A = this chain, B = another copy of it.
Amino acid sequence: MSEPPDFDANFRARLRELIVWRRDVRRFKREPLPDGALNRLLQTACLAPSVGLSQPWRFIVVDSLTRRDAIRQCFEACNAEALSDQATERASLYARLKLEGLDEAPCHLAVFADRSTSQGHGLGRLTMPQMIEYSAVLAVHTLWLVARAEGIGVGWLSILEPSRVAAILDAPPGWVFIGYFCIGYPAEACDTPALEQAGWETRRPLSEALLYR
Closest Cβ–Cβ distance, residue A79 to chain B (whole Å): 9
Alpha-carbon separation in the docked complex, A197 to B82 (Å)? 47
Interface string of A31-75 (1 = CB under 8 A from B): 000000001001110111101111101111111100100000000
Given the contacts A46-B209, A123-B195, A16 and B146 also touching, CB distance less than 8 Å: yes
B149 touches A190 (CB 8 A): no
Q: Does A121 contact B (CB under 8 A)?
A: yes
In the assembled complex, the Cα of A86 lies from the Cα of B123 at a distance in Å of 9
| Chain B residues whose CB sits within 8 angstroms of the CB of A209 once the complex forms | 46, 55, 57-59
CA distance in complex: A211, B108 (Å): 12
A142 touches B141 (CB 8 A): yes
A158 touches B125 (CB 8 A): yes
Residues of B within 8 A of A18 (CB): 5, 7, 11, 15
Name A residues whose Cβ lies closer than 8 Å to a Cβ of B.
Answer: 1-2, 4-5, 7, 11-12, 14-22, 24, 39, 42-44, 46-49, 51-55, 57-64, 67, 78, 81-82, 85-87, 90, 94, 97, 99, 119-128, 130-131, 133-134, 137-138, 140-142, 144-146, 148-151, 156, 158-162, 169-171, 178-179, 189-193, 195-196, 200-204, 206, 209-213
Would B12 and A150 count as touching, CB distance under 8 A? yes
Instruction: Judge whether B150 and A200 touch: CB under 8 Å.
Output: no
What chain B residues lie within 8 Å of A204 (beta carbons)?
Answer: 55, 119
A128 to B79, CA, bound (A): 12
Chain B residues near A141 (CB, 8 Å)? 48-49, 137-138, 141-142
Q: CB within 8 A of A159: which of B81, B127, B201?
A: B127
CB distance from A100 to the nearest CB of B (A): 11
Given A14-B11, A55-B203, A192-B1, does the pair A47, B20 have CB atoms closer than 8 Å? Answer: yes
Q: Is the CB of A42 within 8 A of B210?
A: yes
Whether A7 lies near B46 (C-beta < 8 A) is no
